[in-house]
């Protein structure tokens, strides 16, 4: 039992080290948490997507990804376009003061649109495949007979992180009662999205 728990702990630690970083997915979860808009749906989409990708990697999908680099190129271009568009929206929010109020109901976003955005930010990011399917999937094989314990630990790390980020964002709401804080956040989000989009396009060259 102890070796299995050690494998799970290894997956948990590595999963956290990969996911706790500034990225498009985390930025979106944070913003939804601050706005208290469809947080449960966003967190669920992110953790289920990560669990599915980690499971695919442990099952051997990493070899398929490595043998078909052209597939990642398609995802890179599509992901770059989506990230650039999302970055433009964040920049526009920062530029227009009337859109900074988190309680603004003038432009409500439907649950379906929110879920679609969360799915796109997850599945159109090639780094997700490299981190979960290829890297985690490969390292899981270093725990023969306990690969799924490792996968469970990594999936638990993802679930804990997204839940903490989405629901813990409420602790920052007093800070974001000021429009200036929302402007800064959207500037940061736009910068992250544009930087990621550029890095994806440059990686195809």
Q: Give the integer Cα–Cα distance in Å for 50 and 155.
A: 7
Q: Give the integer Cα–Cα distance in Å for 201 and 196.
A: 9
Residue 74, token pair as written in the block:
């398609």
pTM higher than 0.75, yes or no?
Answer: yes
Q: Give the integer Cα–Cα distance in Å for 193 and 55.
A: 27
**Residues ≥6 apart with Cβ < 8 Å to 130:** 65, 72
pLDDT tens figures, 156-205: 999 999 999 999 988 888 887 777 877 888 888 888 888 878 877 776 55
């Amino acid at each position: 039992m102890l070796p299995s728990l050690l494998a799970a702990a290894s997956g948990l630690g590595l999963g956290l080290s990969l996911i706790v970083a500034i990225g498009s997915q985390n930025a979106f979860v944070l913003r939804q948490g601050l706005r208290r808009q469809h947080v449960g749906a966003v967190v669920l989409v992110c953790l289920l997507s990560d669990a599915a990708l980690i499971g695919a990697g442990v099952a051997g999908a990493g070899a398929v990804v490595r043998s078909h680099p052209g597939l990642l190129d398609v995802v890179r271009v599509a992901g770059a376009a989506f990230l650039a568009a999302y970055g433009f929206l964040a920049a526009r929010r920062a530029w227009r003061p009337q859109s900074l109020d988190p309680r603004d109901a003038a432009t409500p976003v439907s649950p379906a649109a929110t879920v679609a955005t969360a799915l796109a930010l997850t599945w159109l990011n090639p780094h997700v495949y490299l981190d979960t399917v290829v890297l985690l999937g490969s390292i899981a094989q270093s725990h023969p007979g306990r690969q799924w314990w490792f996968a469970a630990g990594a999936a638990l790390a993802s679930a804990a992180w997204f839940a903490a980020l989405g629901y813990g964002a409420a602790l920052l709401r007093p800070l974001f009662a000021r429009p200036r804080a929302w402007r800064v956040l959207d500037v940061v989000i736009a910068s992250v999205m544009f930087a990621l989009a550029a890095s994806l396009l440059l990686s195809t060259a």
